[in-house]
């Protein structure tokens, strides 16, 4: 059996502090720090290499009392992973959250997030759904997403040592004396260098900055949850996502810009479709002309051969007369 490997770019520890280099990204850092997924993003246990290897070498998917489980042996101890265990140990919420959005909703929301015009199928439907739910403050079932991916890894041709950070959290809860395993895997992590890298303007950068959704603004979320009191001291829930004063005007301008950007994307897609149809029509026309040209050339060749044959026959007749 081929030895399974860690993937350095997978399951990295997130860096959610604010160095000087994060200028321009403060709001997204605030948003992630206030989100229930913060613990799963930042938890950084000591990862014992042999324990992760043992888990994936022995793991099997089973259904017990109607509940799907992953069972494995680590240091001769039976380890059980379920969706509910993942939710509990990673401090995730929303057992009743969204599993996957409909395609129409995915394309509509992703278009609002970016002016990107290439195919969005670079994302899986589930990952796209997770991003959209985060951005729009909807409940997403991250524990199910993690569990389903672990099950898929068991059957994958490219099986690897998936989710080492998460697995170690689960193992720490179920296996005693973990520290007797001496070999440790050093988890890669995002550092403040990430912010410096994000500032680099790539060749394909459209130079259009996409603002955060109002639902991602920490202040806006606090306003939604808080009760406001009207002039008659009657408590009411605020449904206004916009801020007040100058911030309100700026946010309105940003939302108007998003609307215009969406229309621009739609117009570009329509133009692209019209151009594709025109190109297809021109290709058909070229093929017809090429076919007509080949047919004409063929006829000319036949006429040439017939004329040549007639000249030869005429010469033979003249020679006979001379004799």
- Please tell me the predicted confidence (pLDDT) of residue 61: 96
254 part of a folded domain: no
191 part of a folded domain: yes
Average pLDDT over residues 119-145: 81
Average pLDDT over residues 248-269: 64
The domain of 84 spans 20-97+141-210
133 part of a folded domain: no
- For 209, the token pair is 């900055």
- Please tell me the predicted confidence (pLDDT) of residue 254: 65
166 part of a folded domain: yes
SS3 227: strand
Could you give the strand order of the β-sheet that contains 67-74, starting from the edge strand earlier in sequence?
60-64, 67-74, 77-81
Choose between 271 and 158: higher pLDDT: 158
278 part of a folded domain: no
308 part of a folded domain: no
DSSP structure class, residue 186: P
User: What distance in Å separates the CA atoms of residue 45 and residue 193, rounded to the nearest whole number?
Assistant: 22
Residue 64's beta-bridge partner residues?
67
- Please tell me the predicted confidence (pLDDT) of residue 245: 47
Q: Is the pLDDT of residue 32 over 60?
A: yes
- Please tell me the predicted confidence (pLDDT) of residue 146: 95
173 part of a folded domain: yes
Average pLDDT over residues 266-272: 72
User: What distance in Å separates the CA atoms of residue 317 and residue 323, rounded to the nearest whole number?
Assistant: 10
**CA quadruple 254, 260, 263, 265: dihedral sign:** negative
3-state class percentages of the chain: helix first, strand second, coil last, to nearest 5: 55, 10, 35
Q: How many structural domains is the chain composed of?
A: 1
Residue 79's beta-bridge partner residues?
72
The counts of H helices and E strands in the chain are: 11, 7
Kindly give, in sequence order, each residue whose CB lies less than 8 Å from that of residue 229, ignoring residues fewer than 6 positions away: 235, 236
Q: What's the predicted TM-score (pTM) here?
A: 0.62
Q: Is the pLDDT of residue 102 over 50?
A: yes
> What's the Cα-to-Cα distance from 130 to each of 15, 27, 87, 145, rounded to whole Å?
20, 19, 16, 9
The highest-confidence range among 21-35, 113-127, 146-160, 287-301, by mean pLDDT, is 146-160
User: What distance in Å separates the CA atoms of residue 106 and residue 69, rounded to the nearest whole number?
Assistant: 30
15 part of a folded domain: no
Query: pLDDT of 41-76, one tens digit each?
Result: 999 999 999 999 999 999 999 999 999 999 999 999
């Amino acid at each position: 059996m081929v030895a399974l490997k860690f993937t350095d770019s997978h399951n990295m520890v997130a860096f959610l502090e604010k160095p000087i280099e994060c200028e321009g990204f403060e709001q997204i850092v605030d948003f992630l720090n206030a989100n229930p997924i913060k613990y799963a993003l930042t938890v950084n246990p000591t990862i014992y290499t042999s324990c992760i290897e043992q888990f994936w070498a022995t793991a099997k998917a089973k259904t017990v009392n109607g509940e799907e489980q992953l069972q494995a042996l680590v240091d001769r101890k039976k380890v059980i992973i379920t969706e509910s265990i993942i939710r509990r140990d990673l401090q995730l919420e929303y057992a009743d959250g969204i599993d996957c959005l409909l395609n129409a909703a995915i394309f509509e929301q992703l278009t609002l997030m970016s002016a990107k015009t290439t195919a969005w199928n670079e994302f899986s439907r589930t990952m796209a759904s997770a991003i959209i739910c985060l951005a729009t403050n909807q409940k997403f079932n991250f524990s199910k997403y993690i569990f389903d991916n672990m099950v898929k890894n068991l059957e994958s041709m490219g099986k690897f040592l998936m989710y080492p950070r998460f697995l170690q959290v689960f193992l720490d809860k179920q296996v005693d004396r973990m520290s007797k395993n001496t070999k440790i895997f050093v988890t890669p992590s995002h550092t403040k260098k990430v912010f410096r890298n994000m500032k680099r303007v790539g060749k394909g950068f459209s130079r259009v900055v996409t603002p955060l959704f109002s639902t991602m603004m920490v202040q806006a979320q606090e306003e939604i949850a808080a009760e406001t009191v009207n002039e008659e001291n009657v408590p009411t829930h605020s449904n206004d996502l916009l801020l007040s004063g100058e911030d309100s005007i700026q946010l309105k301008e940003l939302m108007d810009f998003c609307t215009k950007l969406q229309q621009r994307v739609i117009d570009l897609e329509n133009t692209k479709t019209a151009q594709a149809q025109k190109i297809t029509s021109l290709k058909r026309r070229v093929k017809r002309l090429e076919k007509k040209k080949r047919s004409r050339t063929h006829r000319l060749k036949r006429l040439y051969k017939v004329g040549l044959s007639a000249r030869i026959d005429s010469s033979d007749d003249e020679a006979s007369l001379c004799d």
